[in-house]
């Protein structure tokens, strides 16, 4: 071992001189560096051994011969390694630069890594704890990181207070069919929350403008590309706001999130093959059509749909084909929406509600609208929907003491990531998806 190598190793041991791979790819030829990460690819050409190393920032190829090649040979796929070498431009290498390897040390060995080239989606879900290392998942998670950050940034810069609401609840928000029962410590049955909305409504009487980012749970029996049983929900509620106000907040919020992703994640969008031009077009104002207009569009396209029914994935896909950016569908019929939605005073058979549908086939990412603020109206509607007012006692109290007009919405974060990243299945938008059939790993 040369004096340099000994010195380099000593520095490595002290852990002070490692560079991020993204940084190394920008360095001048001749720079002597050390990186650490995991073996992404491995090629043994006899005299030379090529090891592509990845860290959280990128990948770089290191080429070894002589003594170092012996050590490099032992580094299996996904082994944790430390590598020292000299930067050299090479058009054939990923990123245009490679390391002329001087030494390599296997820190954490890996033999027969289970993921090879041809694997099914199901298999990748079985080994999700390992697949999260893939460049694809790495890119999606970086975009997801930006999305969460941008949501907080938007609300906090506009005078909203962030609040936290309980996950254990006692009555349905969005209908009983998708409630998850949990056996509580005292033997009673409680449920996992479907939405924090009712608690946000309570909190506007203290803070006026509130938001939360939290999981919501739905025992969705349908196996679709856009349903999780545990999803991330960004919800906001605003005192004194109308349907129009809340739609403006929604479009500004979505555009803010898109802009941040376009600023921060060009590399990731490229790796995922996302057509960024389609995202750049999503500048507010978004389109606004009524439910009635949506029905006309669908019927003209030959779909058979009864007035009063909610739209499913097929209807939404057909609708958004007509629009080059997101579209609000407002004023859904009463029976298509949960009981808390306020009726339009000018047309009581429809509600002051709106869903935001994302383009390119994605469909609903937000649901929201105005809430019933009058006590008698709310009790009457709870009964009409076959529910029991006594299950909603505290929620009714909000109408007894200083009730005000108010509106709010809930944005499905996983669906938003799915759309922005251009994914074809919601399970790929979250590291460890929970679906009807999967709670492992
Ligand atoms: O049922 S929603 O349409 N509306 C609510 O829960 C309201 N209580 C929100 C509110 O006004 N505060 O769900 C809102 C969004 C919906 O548009 C989807 O984007 C997402 O939540 N969502 C889901 N994402 C993934 N998987 C499932 N199962 C799911 N259900 C709703």
Q: Do 344 and 414 lie in a common domain?
A: yes
Domain that holds residue 249: 124-429
Q: How far is ligand 1, taken at its centre, from the CA of residue 65, in Å?
A: 56
What is the b/e burial string over 308-326, where b = at least 16 CB atoms within 10 angstroms of the residue's CB?
Answer: eeebebebbebbbeebebb
Domain contains 128 = yes
Average pLDDT over residues 129-144: 98
- Domain holding 27: CATH number? 2.40.50.140
Name the pTM for this structure. Answer: 0.96
Q: What is the pLDDT, as a whole number, of residue 130?
A: 98
Based on the fold, state whether residues 194 and 236 are members of the same structural domain. Answer: yes
Residues 312 and 196 in one domain: yes
**For residue 426, which atom of ligand 1 is closest to its CA?**
25
In a domain, 119, yes or no: no
How far apart, in whole angstroms, are the C-alpha atoms of residue 41 and residue 97?
Answer: 16
Residue nearest to atom 11 of ligand 1 (CA): 409
Model confidence at 30: pLDDT above 90: yes
**94 and 27 co-located in one domain:** yes
pLDDT value for 76 = 96
Q: Does 133 share its domain with 87?
A: no
- For atom 3 of ligand 1, which residue has the closest CA? 367
Separation of CA 100 and ligand 1 centre (Å):
52
Report the nearest-CA residue for atom 28 of ligand 1.
Answer: 227
- Is position 184 within any domain? yes
% of the chain surpassing 70 pLDDT: 96
129 with 97, same domain: the answer is: no
Last residue of a domain, one of 48, 76, 108: 108
97 in any annotated domain: yes
Which pLDDT score, from 0 to 100, does residue 116 have? Answer: 87
Same domain? For 94 and 180 the reply is no
Whether residues 98 and 131 share a domain: the answer is: no
CA distance 43 to 322: 49
Same domain, 97 and 130: no
Helix (H), strand (E) at residue 115: none
Chain segment 254-291, per-residue pLDDT in tens: 999 999 999 999 999 999 999 999 999 999 999 999 99
Classified as helix, coil or strand, 364 is strand
Q: How confident is the model at residue 17 (pLDDT cuts 50, 70, 90)?
A: confident
Q: 181-211 pLDDT, tens per residue?
A: 999 999 999 999 999 999 999 999 999 999 9
- Ligand 1: which residue has its CA nearest to atom 23? 412
Q: Check if the beta carbon of residue 110 is closer than 8 Å to that of residue 142.
A: no
- Distance from C-alpha of 202 to C-alpha of 138, rounded to nearest angstrom: 38
pLDDT of 37 > 80? The answer is yes
Q: What is the pLDDT of residue 11?
A: 58
Q: What percent of the chain has pLDDT over 90?
A: 93
The least confident of 9-23, 43-57, 316-330 is 9-23
Note the pLDDT of residue 275: 97
- Compute the distance from residue 411 Cα to the ligand 1 centre, in Å: 6
CB 176 within 8 A of CB 187: no
The reply to whether 264 and 387 lie within a common domain is yes
In whole angstroms, what is the distance from residue 140 CA to residue 129 CA? 15
**Residue 436 maps to a domain:** no
Would you say residue 15 has pLDDT above 70? Answer: no
231-251 confidence digits (pLDDT tens)? 999 999 999 999 999 999 999
- The reported pLDDT for the residue numbered 222 is 80
Probe target for ligand 1 pocket from 233, 369, 407, 411, with the most ligand atoms within 8 Å of CB: 233
Question: Which residues are CB-contacts of 317 (< 8 A; sequence separation ≥ 6)?
Answer: 361, 363
Ligand 1 site: residues with CB under 6 angstroms? 173-174, 195, 197, 218, 220, 227-228, 231, 233, 235, 364-368, 408-410, 412, 414-415
What tokens were used for 424?
């074809």
The residue out of 77, 108, 139 marking a domain boundary is 108
Residue 439 is assigned to a structural domain of this protein: no
Same domain flag for 285 and 231: yes
Here the CATH number for the domain that contains residue 140 is 3.30.930.10
Which 3 state secondary structure label does DSSP give 288?
Answer: strand
Domain count along the chain: 2
The mean pLDDT of the chain is 96
Residue 44 forms part of a structural domain: yes
Distance CA 58, CA 54 (A): 6
Q: What is the pLDDT of residues 58-81, one digit of tens each?
A: 999 999 999 999 999 999 999 999
Decide if 148 contacts 195 (C-beta within 8 A): no
Overall average pLDDT of the 91-97 stretch: 92
Based on the domain organization, do 67 and 142 belong to the same domain?
no
Residue 309 has pLDDT above 90, yes or no: yes
Q: Pick from 59, 77, 108: which residue ends a domain?
A: 108
Q: pLDDT tens digits for 363-374?
A: 999 999 999 999
In a domain, 434, yes or no: no
Separation of CA 250 and ligand 1 centre (Å):
14
Considering only CA atoms, which residue is closest to atom 4 of ligand 1? 367
């Amino acid at each position: 071992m040369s004096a340099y190598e000994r010195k380099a190793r000593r520095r490595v041991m002290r852990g002070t001189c490692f560079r991020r791979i993204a940084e190394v790819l920008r360095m001048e030829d001749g720079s002597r560096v050390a990186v650490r990460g995991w073996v992404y690819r491995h090629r043994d050409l006899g005299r030379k051994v090529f090891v592509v190393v990845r860290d959280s920032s990128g990948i770089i190829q290191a080429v070894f011969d002589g003594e170092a090649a012996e050590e490099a040979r032992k580094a299996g796929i996904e082994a944790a390694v430390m590598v020292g070498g000299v930067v050299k431009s090479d058009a054939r290498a990923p990123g245009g630069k490679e390391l002329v390897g001087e030494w390599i040390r296997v820190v954490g060995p890996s033999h027969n890594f289970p993921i090879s080239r041809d694997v099914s989606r199901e298999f990748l879900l079985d080994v999700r704890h390992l697949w999260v290392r893939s460049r694809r998942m790495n890119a999606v998670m970086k975009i997801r990181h930006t999305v969460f950050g941008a949501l907080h940034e938007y609300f906090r810069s506009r005078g909203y207070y962030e609040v936290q609401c309980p996950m254990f609840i006692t009555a349905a928000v969005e209908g009983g069919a998708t409630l998850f029962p949990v056996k509580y410590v005292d033997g009673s049955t409680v449920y996992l929350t479907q939405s924090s909305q009712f608690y946000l409504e309570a909190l506007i009487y203290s803070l006026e403008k509130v938001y939360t980012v939290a999981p919501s749970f739905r025992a969705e029996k349908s196996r679709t590309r856009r349903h999780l049983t545990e999803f991330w929900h960004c919800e906001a509620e605003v005192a004194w706001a109308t349907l129009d106000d809340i739609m403006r907040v929604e479009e500004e919020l979505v555009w803010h999130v898109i802009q941040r992703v376009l600023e921060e994640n060009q590399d990731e969008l490229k790796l995922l093959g996302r057509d960024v031009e389609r995202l750049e077009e999503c500048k507010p104002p978004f389109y606004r059509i009524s439910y009635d207009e949506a029905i006309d569009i669908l019927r003209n396209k030959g779909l058979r749909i009864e007035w009063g029914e909610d739209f499913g994935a097929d209807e939404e896909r057909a609708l958004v084909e007509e629009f080059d950016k997101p579209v609000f569908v407002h004023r859904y019929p009463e029976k298509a929406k949960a009981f808390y939605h306020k009726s339009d005073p000018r047309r009581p058979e429809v509600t002051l509600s709106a869903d935001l549908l994302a383009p390119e086939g994605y469909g609903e990412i937000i649901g929201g609208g105005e809430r019933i603020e009058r006590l008698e109206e709310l009790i009457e509607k709870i009964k009409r929907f076959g529910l029991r007012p006594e299950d909603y006692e505290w929620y009714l109290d909000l109408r007894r003491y200083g009730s005000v007009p108010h509106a709010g919405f809930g944005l499905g974060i996983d669906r938003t990531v799915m759309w922005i990243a251009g994914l074809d299945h919601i399970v790929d938008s979250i590291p460890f998806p929970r679906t009807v059939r999967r709670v492992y790993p």
